[in-house]
Structure 1
């Protein structure tokens, strides 16, 4: 892996390249975000125009500048195909389960790439980067309570389930955390 400032950061796993999102990713990101199945355990609001994806990319690029980290494009090394995004985000623009100003791990992959181990592979790379290179002390994550696949991935990666909570729409989410010391102890 190569580690430099966030905009130049490139992480590699055996099958994936993790790189900053670019405006040229808008079409692929739109394909991901307009799929209702992808939004089943999100907010049930698939994108309807590509401009929404462009705004997402611009938002993430601001996070790179302000926080030196954000969600990254996740690309298959073998084909160069954009399969979604993964990464660490510093949450300071809203309150989640009573928390703000925390590092959050998350991902979203296109449906054809589910159940192939890509999310687990990317998760391992991001946790290594976050704890060993960024020196993050504590990582949070939150998932829809019924999203068994994502809950399984976080648990397998070492995240500890803390509690369930309800958002403003009454949807139940799971709150997870992983401390650097626990991560390093289990490596």
Structure 2
């Protein structure tokens, strides 16, 4: 499932002053957005052209364009326009037009106040979030990291069964139902609210899951800190994947979070992870006990 259609009313996008009703002025960035959307093959449906002012008329317009509701995203500046979805699985972004006051924009997954930072990728991600589709977050030369799904559990269980995989990290629940419940809650609560988490690592060449890696929040000495974590499947170790993925994550942490530093917590005796942390520029800080285990804390500044 992918974004195929963008629905909007260009009249609602008019930001000309009310005392000049004949003038049409687009918000900065909207023209560039529409051009970009078109280049990605997304059909643009202007509701005004079809006088689509009812759910039934919208249904007919979508059929005319051979689009399914779940393939579309709507940008709406009024409650009336957003109500045209009438229970259909059309993702929606609300737009606050200063000319159109008193709009609640209920049902929109996000409300924006302008278009300068809105592009195809932004709308695609809003569409994916609405439909529970995983975001691809980081791309490296040989791999990419995407959000986890419940369907990944088969691969994760296989991964964790590899020799030595749980020597220094906690394994998955033996009860598959408990792991599914945990995974659903994690997806629901971590990614949308923080914008990061533990992601699934996929090898580009084969499409195979090679591990998981990402960012977590950890409380240390009463302070919430950012933690780097990774797990590479036995079959894929000693090929530089961990370094490649962690370098991509560090760049993401610098550019995509407001944290000034990042930490690694490594159980005592895990020499391989210590070597990687030092290779990535982390410095040893202290030894501390976490859940009864002796852990080494390494830290790296995220400031340029």
Q: TM-score, normalised by structure 1?
A: 0.82
Residue 87 of structure 1 deviates from its aligned partner by 0.8
CA contact (8 A) 2:283 2:298 kept: yes
- Determine the C-alpha separation between the residues in 2 that align with 1:56 and 1:115: 30
Could you tell me whether the CA contact under 8 Å between 1:30 and 1:47 is conserved in 2? no
User: CA-to-partner distance for each residue in 1:115-157, whole Å, 9 max, x for gaps?
Assistant: 1111100000000011023243111110112111111111111
| Structure-2 residue corresponding to 1:88 | 215
Contact 2:215/2:229 (<8 A) preserved: yes
Confirm or deny that 1:137 pairs with 2:260: yes
Q: Please, which moves more after superposition, 55-64 or 76-85?
A: 55-64
**Higher relative contact order at CA 8 Å, sep ≥6: structure 1 or structure 2?**
1
2:294 aligns with 172
Contiguous gaps of at least 5 residues in structure 2: 1-120
Equivalent positions of 1:1-187 (< 5 A) are 8-35=135-162, 37-43=164-170, 45=171, 47-61=173-187, 62-91=189-218, 95-96=219-220, 98-169=221-292, 171-181=293-303, 184=304
Q: 1:99 to 1:178 in 2, by over 3 A?
A: farther
Partners of 1:32 and 1:53 lie apart in 2 by 15
CA distance 1:119–1:55, shift in 2 (3 Å): farther
Gaps of 5+ in 1: none
Asked whether the equivalents of residues 172 and 179 of structure 2 are also in contact (C-alpha less than 8 Å), the reply is no
Cα shift at 1:31: 1.4
RMSD, matched Cα: 2.4
Distance 2:279 2:167 in 1: 22
Question: Cα distance 1:150–1:168, how it changes in 2: closer, same or farther (>3 A)?
Answer: same
CA contact (8 A) 2:157 2:172 kept: no
Return closer, same or farther for 1:56/1:33 CA change in 2, 3 Å cut-off. Answer: farther
- TM-score, length-scaled by structure 2: 0.52
Equivalent-residue separation in structure 1 for 2:234 and 2:273 (angstroms): 13
